[in-house]
Homo-oligomer: A and B are copies of this chain.
Amino acid sequence: MKELVNFILQYGNLNQQQIDLITSKASELELPKDEYFSEAGKISTQVGFVLDGVMRVCYYDNKGEEITKYFIDEKNLVVDLESFQNSICSSAYVQAVTDCKLLVFSKHDWEELLNTIVGWDAIVHKIIARALMQKIERRSPLVSEDATTRYLSFMEKYPKILNRIPLSYLASYLGITQSSLSRIRKNIR
């Protein structure tokens, strides 16, 4: 729980009473490897905060290929924003890549907090804007760089994630086939 509080306070100040109220609404969720936090075709009704483990967001493209859109690791919010905010069916899956431990808020509680705590919405907006900008910054270079460079950048930026995810997920994240990634790794050694 301390992790969550520290995370929040990076984005703005709250008094102890407000913090207590927020944490009182969080419940722990253990999500075993491969299980889904939210699924395509369903409406997402939870906001999560990753205490432990790695998750991913993925979808199936028009050829039926499974594409990993991004990875989410410790001390980050995990939420299918489009679906959660607008109560519409999601087009993506959010899945535990390893066994995960989360703190989760129900949509009901989350909205109650937004209506109750003055300044909480500003903090949430800041968190979301920051997270979205990060996703853009991470994904953009993948369009223009060659495959080896993408892999090297990933190694450099996310060494902690690298060894916890299957190669196939990483390959689809990087936009290359698993065999190509395997060959790239061989050449680097």
Interface residues of A (CB under 8 A from B): 61, 65, 67, 69, 81-82, 121-122, 125, 128-129, 132-133, 135-136, 139-145, 172, 174-175
Contacts of A142 in B (CB 8 A): 143
Contacts of A141 in B (CB 8 A): 61
Which of B61, B67, B81, B174 makes the CB contact (< 8 A) with A129? B81
Whether A139 contacts B143 in the complex (CB less than 8 A), given A121-B122, A122-B121, A125-B125, comes out as yes
A61 near B144: Cβ-Cβ < 8 Å: yes
**Oligomer copy total:** 2
Contacts of A136 in B (CB 8 A): 132, 135-136, 139
Determine how close the nearest CB of chain B comes to the CB of A127; give it in whole angstroms: 11
A145 near B61: Cβ-Cβ < 8 Å: yes
Which of B82, B122, B133, B139 makes the CB contact (< 8 A) with A139? B139
Cα distance, A65 to B122, chains bound together (Å): 38
A66 nearest in chain B by CB position: B144
